[in-house]
Chain A
């Protein structure tokens, strides 16, 4: 069974203190890895898609990287508005990939305080 594990479960950072969130996965074949941001009381908001090991994507203070077994979401000089839950999800190329099914981790709750 596909497994997506995110760590840590919760992370508190002071404004400006850079850090990384981890997403490790076990799939038969990775079709894609997705990062979402979720604010309290709202639906997940798409951030990045990564398809192959070595790929990197950036958006403002966020940078996502991918290896064969895990992905990192690096947050550089975070601000309080970066506080949210960050979700990682994978698509397995060997199990109904054309159906677009995503398998989600439990998320990392990030709090950035001034």
Chain B
């Protein structure tokens, strides 16, 4: 059972470039989330989704976009990357909106 899978594991971007962080889950969970984790800080919610076709902003959505066309996939899009987006990004999923299960993360550097 793979759980929550994130790709890529590492990425270096130049300022102004764009990229998509992939997240897929095989647990048939309706709820999915994107967080970022900066050193010494708690996880901050970027976007979340309660089902296919439904997404909403979290605490820190600026500079990001998401889509949810299937139950399994919840990609996070970075447009015009900035150094402030250097972080570790985690995707999570939940069946009933309580316990969240996390992927291994994507470590992103914007230089």
Contact = CB atoms under 8 A, between A and B. Distances in A.
B103 interface: yes
**Chain B CB within 10 Å, residue with most, of A44, A97, A100:** A100
A106 B42 contact: yes
Given A99-B48, A100-B31, A106-B41, A46 B97 contact: no
B79 to A, nearest CB: 24
B40 interface: yes
Contacts, number: 62
A18 to B, nearest CB: 26
B102 A107 contact: no
Contacts of A45: 102
B29 to A, nearest CB: 10
Say which size band chain B's interface belongs to: 20 to 34
A43 B104 contact: yes
A86 interface: no
A44 B104 CA distance: 8
B45 A91 contact: no
Nearest to B105: A43
Contact of B98 (A4, A41, A100): A100
B51 to A, nearest CB: 11
A32 B98 contact: yes
B48 A107 contact: no
Interface of B: 4, 31, 33, 35, 40-45, 48, 50, 56, 58, 90, 92, 94, 96-105
5 contacts: A42-B104, A44-B43, A89-B43, A100-B48, A106-B41
